[in-house]
Amino acid sequence: MPPPPLLCLALSLLALLPPSSAQSTLALNEPPDNTLLLGAWLDTSTDSPQSFNARLGLPAPWFQFAQNIPVDPLDQSTGQGGIVNASMVWETGTDAGVYVTVYPAQGFAAIRDQDWAALGVQLQSYVLAGRGVFLRFAPEMNGNWDVWGIQPTAFKAAWARMHALVKLSCPSCALVWSPNASPGYPYSITPDMVASAEDRQALDTDGDGAYTAADDAFAPYYPGDALVDWAGVSYYYKGVYPNSYNVANGPGTVEAALTGTAPAGLEQAQAVQYTPFYETYCERMPCMFSESGAAWHWNQTGVPANFDSPTHTAVEQAWWRDGLTNRTLLSAYPRLKLLMLFEWQKVEADAGISTLRDFRITNATDVLQAFRADMQAVQGTYRWANELPGGAAGVPAQVPMPQPSPARATPYRMPAGESTSLFWN
């Protein structure tokens, strides 16, 4: 049977479009007009999206939360477990989107098809409420600090199943593949740490029998273009290993996450080349810093003699001026479309040395004032959320929302013992 005339006409018109028209099609949740997005992952036990916007003086377009899969049972007395409290985003009175990170905290084998189906329904309820949605599954899977790490075969199988089932219910959910940034790879991982012989071989991408900076930090875990909407990386600066005292980063530190080229200085005399991220993935899809920040050590230890410690503002400002407000960098990498702030403080340990690391830039008054001043120069480069008419909620009354934990919107940062750093692991 020949195709209908209208279909023939549509196909003919499509064929007449120049190649650039097809290439200019935006991906799910991708901002137009060479703009980019700023998001925040908040510790909602003490903070909220509404409070963040008030501090920043601008309406952030994305807020990140986390939950486990299978979903942990909800403890009514403590508020632990359950699904995220996305209604906190509605309370901003804007059209900001919901970014959900999902941890396979019990391992990949524990995830059932009904878990994926339930997640898809949950996320689609946010779409029906007029929200954009990101889903980031099993982040930093190329590290060994999480129970789901260094298992590329199981990870890719779980990802394919997720794509098949979640997209059935939520086709407009943007799936974010998000490894840890390559500088520092293989993060002290050795073949004997990898349980599966198939995985051991897969991770040795240059076939020399060892894991080194020459091995591809990403390729063994990549599910394929057809199954990924955005690519992202986790990227932090924590100072000089063992990351226990305050040091401001130097120029090029943020760019290293994109190029894989760790600059010389601090602990290394020469630049080290790791797997490039931007040129490998971002040329064909939008990319993001899925979580990022610079650590301020409140209880710093091991400070060298005669070391001139920088101020809190100096540490954080060095970070954002190298990335968030760096016009040169933002122009050089136009497919970098979202920068997610990790607005948390947490106790972390490296080499047995624990410090309270504060990654927030909107908490301390002097740091916040400096950030707001520097943001003014690039404010127009970012695309902000729109205010909603008709009240703060802006949610159609007929849309039923999944019930979250009553007291804790982000159950916790998994796992508490994570100890990744920028170049030194």
Phi, psi angles (nearest 5°) of residue 217? -75, -15
Q: What is the mean pLDDT of residues 408-424?
A: 39
The most confident of 5-9, 339-343, 413-417, by mean pLDDT: 339-343
The pLDDT tens digits for 277-316 are: 999 999 999 999 999 999 999 999 999 999 999 999 999 9
Q: pTM here?
A: 0.88
Phi-psi region of 224 (alpha: psi -120 to 50; beta: other; left: phi over 0): left
End-to-end CA distance of the chain: 63
Active site residue 140: yes
pLDDT at position 411: 37
Task: Output the six-digit token pair for 359.
Answer: 């990654």
Selecting among 198, 267, 279, 291, the annotated active-site residue is: 291
Q: Return contacts of 185-188, CB within 8 angstroms, 24+ apart.
A: 185/142, 185/213, 185/215, 185/217, 185/274, 185/275, 186/211, 186/212, 186/213, 186/215, 186/217, 187/143, 187/144, 187/420, 187/425, 188/425
- Name which residue leads in pLDDT, 313 or 394: 313
Dump pLDDT digits (tens) for 193-216.
999 999 999 999 999 999 999 999
Domains for the chain: give ranges and CATH numbers: 35-381 (3.20.20.80)
Q: What is the pLDDT of residue 233?
A: 98
Average pLDDT of span 129-136: 97
Query: Cis omega before residue 415 (within 30°)?
Result: yes
Q: Evaluate whether 263 touches 250 at the Cβ level (below 8 Å).
A: yes
Question: Would you call 283 a catalytic residue per the annotation?
Answer: no
Helix (H, G, I), strand (E, B) or coil at 262: strand
Average confidence (pLDDT) over 178-191: 97
Q: Which helix (H) or strand (E) holds 232?
A: strand 230-237
Dihedral pair phi/psi, residue 103, rounded to 5°: -105, 125
pLDDT digit string (tens) for 259-269?
999 988 756 77
Task: Specify the pLDDT at position 424.
Answer: 36
pLDDT of residue 417: 37
Summarize the confidence of residues 327-339 as an average pLDDT.
97
Position 41 pLDDT exceeds 70? yes
| Confidence bin at 163 (pLDDT 50/70/90) | very high
Q: What is the mean pLDDT of the chain?
A: 88
Mean pLDDT value across residues 54-68: 98
State the catalytic residue, choosing from 30, 140, 316, 343. Answer: 140
